[in-house]
Amino acid sequence: MHRRTPIGHRDAATAMEALNSLTAIAPLLLRNLVTSAFIFADKSFLSLAEKYRLLELLRYLVLSSFLFFLSFLPSLFPSSATPEARRRRRPRAAPPHSAACDSGIARALSQLLAIVNNVPVSSRKYEAVRSLAERLIDENQQEGTEALLEVNRTVLSAAFSRTLSQLEAAMVERSGSAAAGPNRVLRAIRSVQDVARRGRAWWSSEEPTRLGSSAEKLAAELVWLAQKLVACGSAEDAVCSWASASNLAWLAISAEPRLQGSLVKVSAFLFKQAKDMGLDEIDESKKEQQRQTRMKMLMSWLPLLCRASNGTDAPVLSLSERAELERVLEQTIEMLGQEEEQEEVLSQWLHHFMYCPSSDWPNLHASYTRWCAASRKLLLLQ
């Protein structure tokens, strides 16, 4: 095994990634913090306002001003407010503004995939619009021309990133709502936010409404979009987005079992793609980038696999699927190549594996033993 690169460079890269993630989630955290503080203050003020007319008018004025401020809060963070801004942080294989991506068929597919996010599963129109989107994707793929293949890759990648952002926002909002509890002010705030979203997103796919976009629904759609991306030859886009979703992975550990189950399925599917990614690559810089992506995948999503594989009524994955994924994880850890990175991953696994009494999977004891033997040899060679 090779010695690791200087820690200072990796720490700087890690700090930059953490800063980017913090910037991306800042509007959501700030909104929930401000909302919770306002609700607490309003509860104390409400009893007095009901007794005195002047105080009631003052309360109404403050509430209106607060709602107005809340509707403009996302605009204070323009660099992280849209999924497009997140996509620009990492390199893409295809040019983002080619003629194919600006075509009518690309816009039609983008709109259909945005509507899939927005329409509730209970609606009779949900399956119709999703089937139409699948039909367009399949027809583009069957044509086989580079322009239509590029449409599929670019639009599906954008849809995956957008759905990922919406899911993270839905989970943050849900955790904030659980802390604040339901009341009239919170319902009024959400009503104003929904109206604002509908006004901004009349038909655009850039900032869709969140009607019907429950966390469970969005997670299920991520599974579907990931499968479509891989079928269209864009597995790397999905893997890179998933590997970078460290905030979502952290939120997933304490999510509801049904939601965790969908996220385990996405993780299992994309871990397989990450292992096979770039096996024939000869460009050293590209190989290094893929190694870093695998490292982020392992560090972000191994804790969820340790803690959420049982499901509510039945295991999320079958016995054969579990065994296969264990082999994939072992091979992926071996592909890191650097002893200290393997140590980080295996230490992360051991912590969550041992402190989760309800699960004994994934069992990476063999990888841990191999790493210990290699580390011992390295020490003796020194």
pLDDT tens digits for 213-222? 588 899 999 9
Is pLDDT at 31 greater than 50 in this prediction? yes
What average pLDDT score do residues 30-44 get?
Answer: 57
Q: Which residues, other chains included, contact 336 with Cβ-Cβ below 8 Å and sequence gap of 6+?
A: 291, 294, 295, 298, 342, 345
State residue 227's pLDDT score: 93
Q: Are 235 and 294 in contact (CB under 8 A)?
A: no
State residue 338's pLDDT score: 79
CB burial of residue 34 (10 Å; 0-12, 13-18, 19+): middle
Domain membership of residue 343 (yes or no) is yes
Please, what is the average pLDDT of the chain? 75
Is pLDDT at 182 greater than 90 in this prediction? no
Looking at per-residue pLDDT, the higher value among 311 and 163 belongs to 163
The total number of structural domains that make up the chain: 1
Looking at per-residue pLDDT, the higher value among 198 and 99 belongs to 99
Q: How far apart are the C-alpha atoms of 374 and 382, rounded to whole Å?
A: 13
Is pLDDT at 378 greater than 70 in this prediction? yes
DSSP assignment of 213-276: --HHHHHHHHHHHHHHHHHTT-HHHHHHHHHT-HHHHHHHTTS-HHHHHHHHHHHHHHHHHHHH
Is pLDDT at 100 greater than 70 in this prediction? no
Domain membership of residue 182 (yes or no) is no
Domain membership of residue 97 (yes or no) is no
What average pLDDT score do residues 110-116 get?
Answer: 92
Q: How many helices (H) and strands (E) does the chain have?
A: 15, 0
Q: How far apart are the C-alpha atoms of 18 and 192, rounded to whole Å?
A: 32
State residue 122's pLDDT score: 87
- Percentage of the chain modeled with pLDDT above 90: 34
Domain membership of residue 282 (yes or no) is yes
Is pLDDT at 62 greater than 70 in this prediction? no
Q: How far apart are the C-alpha atoms of 253 and 306, rounded to whole Å?
A: 10
State residue 211's pLDDT score: 38
Is pLDDT at 362 greater than 80 in this prediction? yes
Q: How far apart are the C-alpha atoms of 300 and 293, rounded to whole Å?
A: 11
Domain membership of residue 105 (yes or no) is no
- Percentage of the chain modeled with pLDDT above 70: 62
Which structure tokens are listed for 79?
Answer: 């660099």
Looking at per-residue pLDDT, the higher value among 90 and 144 belongs to 144
- Residue pLDDT, tens place only, 140-161: 999 888 889 899 999 999 999 9
**Single-letter amino acid code for the residue at 112:** L
User: CA 103, 104, 107, 112 torsion: positive or negative?
Assistant: negative
Domain membership of residue 159 (yes or no) is no
State residue 200's pLDDT score: 38
Q: What is the domain range of residue 340?
A: 234-382
Domain membership of residue 258 (yes or no) is yes
Q: Give the pLDDT band of residue 173 (cuts 50, 70, 90).
A: confident
What average pLDDT score do residues 334-358 get?
Answer: 87
Is pLDDT at 228 greater than 50 in this prediction? yes
Q: How far apart are the C-alpha atoms of 238 and 160, rounded to whole Å?
A: 7
With vertex at residue 168, the alpha carbon angle to CA 43 and CA 174, rounded to the nearest 5 degrees, is 30
- Label residues 172-193 b or e (16+ Cβ within 10 Å = b): bbbebeeebeeeebbeebeebb
Least confident piece of the model among 45-54, 116-125, 164-173, 289-298: 45-54
State residue 70's pLDDT score: 54
Q: How far apart are the C-alpha atoms of 216 and 138, rounded to whole Å?
A: 26
**Residue whose pair of structure tokens reads 């996302």 in the numeric block:** 74
N- to C-terminal Cα distance for the chain?
13
Domain membership of residue 120 (yes or no) is no
Task: Kindly calculate the radius of gyration of the chain based on its CA atoms and give it in whole angstroms.
Answer: 23
With vertex at residue 198, the alpha carbon angle to CA 197 and CA 200, rounded to the nearest 5 degrees, is 65
Q: Give the pLDDT band of residue 123 (cuts 50, 70, 90).
A: confident
Has this prediction a pTM greater than 0.75? Answer: no
Which structure tokens are listed for 328?
Answer: 């994939």
